[in-house]
């Protein structure tokens, strides 16, 4: 351990993604900035009997490319996605974990629901074949912290390791807590991020009965089904995947000549303490999280150029989030670009915050803000500048905001790094 230094600067040096819009950062970013949707007809099970049959699916993914096939068979899909994204990010960073540094290399990597599919598979095996049909490995490989454990095994990282779970805010909290672990001196590098694989029948039914899922406008194609902040929005689309960011101590990253994508400069976390599903009046919990992220290290509110919002396309959720943004930024709200990438990926649940952090960092790195698809009819109750076309812009600060079931709110801010 090193001496804590809460002014220690933390930067992003590598990224990896497995997502409905691509299974590497170049493909995913190209699809985002060009407004290519990853939404389509659900194929993981027969959804013809259900009202909703759309999803943001990961395609052309083979777990054996990233893991030992035996370990892959024993573990949940969420673990597969998490390991793949983490290994991509580590390779992208150029950071080599060795015997000399492995105890300073951490993993802070979450999952909203854990290996639920693995549990259901073993429940069915028990009913069909009796107790001998249940795998002796399913409990260890189906936990919420199984991805963080397997990532450590696969990469050799033996430092600080944990999995923060805050439902749909999971990705945001894991990346931000990873930065705080570096500032505390627990480690010098962290593999951070989150993963989720919710595309199975029971979860689909649950969200249908919750009235959370949306449908296309009459006469519009499937990709129109998720339309954040649009007046006609009526729910989200389930998505899946993972994203990982490699975080490092700035001085050590510079010393090894690392490419720096952006700096992590703000983090806020707050609870609604209100309801397990509905957001608090006025989005006050989300507002407090964003204010905390701004104030923690003195980020100027008037320099936030883009917000990647939670933006799930639910009628009440988007309204409350818009109210939260207005309460934080006031009259400047209409000058901040809102880039709601769930319009292309669907709601990746616990992986959403990590993927949207990736999108925010890439907006800074490439100087381009991705559009929000399907925003055709502005809603006066939201009254935000929701960008419809990609915008070329030098982004100074990008804020990524997430809101999780149970009233968990997280906000993280990234800053352009110009060598200063």
Which of 48, 244, 19, 217 lies closest to 148 in space, CA to CA?
244
Catalytic residue (choose from 168, 187, 226, 382) = 168
Active site residue 226: no
CB 396 within 8 A of CB 305: yes
d(CA 283, CA 190): 31
CB 20 within 8 A of CB 14: no
> Would you call 18 helix, strand, or coil by DSSP?
strand
Determine phi and psi for 146, rounding to 5 degrees: -60, -40
d(CA 310, CA 270): 15
Q: What is the DSSP string of 250-278?
A: HHHHHHTT----EEEEEEEEEE--S-SSS
H/E element, 176: helix 170-184
**Residue appearing with tokens 């919990």:** 285
CB 344 within 8 A of CB 36: yes
CB 249 within 8 A of CB 10: yes
By CB atoms closer than 10 A (0-12, 13-18, 19+), residue 119 is middle
CB 245 within 8 A of CB 15: yes
CB 307 within 8 A of CB 325: yes
Active site residue 347: yes
Catalytic residue (choose from 160, 347, 365, 408) = 347
Which of 245, 358, 268 lies closest to 10 in space, CA to CA?
245
CB 106 within 8 A of CB 190: yes
Catalytic residue (choose from 52, 80, 310, 408) = 310
How crowded is residue 135: how many other Cβ atoms within 10 Å of its Cβ?
15
* Cβ-proximal residues to 287 (8 Å cutoff; 6+ apart), any chain: 323, 324, 325, 327, 328
d(CA 357, CA 379): 26
Active site residue 162: no
**Residue appearing with tokens 């490699």:** 246
CB 25 within 8 A of CB 358: yes
Q: Which residues are catalytic?
A: 168, 310, 347
């Amino acid at each position: 351990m090193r001496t804590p230094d809460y002014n220690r600067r933390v930067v992003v040096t590598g990224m990896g993604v497995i997502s409905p819009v691509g299974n590497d950062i170049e493909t995913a970013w190209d699809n985002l900035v060009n407004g290519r949707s990853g939404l389509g007809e659900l194929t993981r099970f027969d959804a013809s009997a259900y009202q909703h049959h759309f999803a943001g699916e990961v395609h052309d993914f083979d777990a054996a490319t990233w893991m030992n096939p035996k370990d892959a068979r024993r573990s949940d899909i969420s673990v597969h996605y998490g390991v793949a994204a983490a290994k991509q990010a580590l390779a992208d960073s150029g950071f080599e974990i060795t015997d000399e540094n492995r105890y300073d290399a951490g993993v802070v990597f979450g999952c909203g629901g854990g290996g639920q599919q693995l549990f259901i598979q073993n429940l069915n095996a028990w009913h069909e074949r009796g107790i001998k049909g249940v795998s002796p490995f399913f409990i260890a490989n189906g936990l919420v912290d199984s991805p963080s454990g397997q990532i450590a095994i696969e990469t050799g990282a033996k430092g600080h390791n944990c999995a923060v779970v805050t439902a749909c805010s999971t990705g945001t909290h894991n990346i931000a807590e990873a930065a705080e672990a570096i500032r505390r001196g627990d480690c010098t590098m962290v593999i951070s991020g989150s993963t989720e694989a919710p595309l199975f029948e029971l979860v689909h039914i649950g969200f249908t009965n919750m009235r959370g899922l949306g449908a296309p406008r009459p006469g519009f194609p499937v990709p129109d089904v998720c339309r954040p902040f649009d007046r006609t929005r009526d729910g989200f689309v389930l998505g899946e995947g993972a994203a990982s960011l490699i975080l490092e101590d700035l001085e050590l990253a510079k010393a090894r000549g690392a490419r720096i994508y952006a700096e992590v400069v703000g983090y806020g976390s707050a609870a609604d303490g209100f309801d397990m599903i509905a957001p608090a009046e006025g989005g006050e919990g989300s507002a407090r999280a964003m204010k905390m992220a701004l104030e923690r290290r003195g980020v100027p509110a008037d320099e936030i150029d883009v917000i990647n919002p939670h933006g799930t396309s639910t009628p009440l959720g988007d309204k409350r989030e818009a109210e939260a943004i207005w309460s934080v930024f006031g009259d400047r709200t209409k000058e901040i670009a809102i880039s709601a990438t769930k319009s292309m990926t669907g709601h990746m649940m616990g992986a959403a915050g990590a993927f949207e952090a990736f999108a925010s960092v890439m907006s800074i790195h490439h100087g381009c803000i991705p559009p929000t698809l399907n925003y055709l009819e502005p809603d006066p109750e939201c009254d935000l500048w929701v960008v419809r076309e990609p915008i070329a812009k030098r982004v100074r600060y990008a804020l990524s905001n997430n809101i999780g079931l149970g009233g968990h709110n997280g906000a993280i801010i990234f800053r352009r790094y110009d060598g200063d």
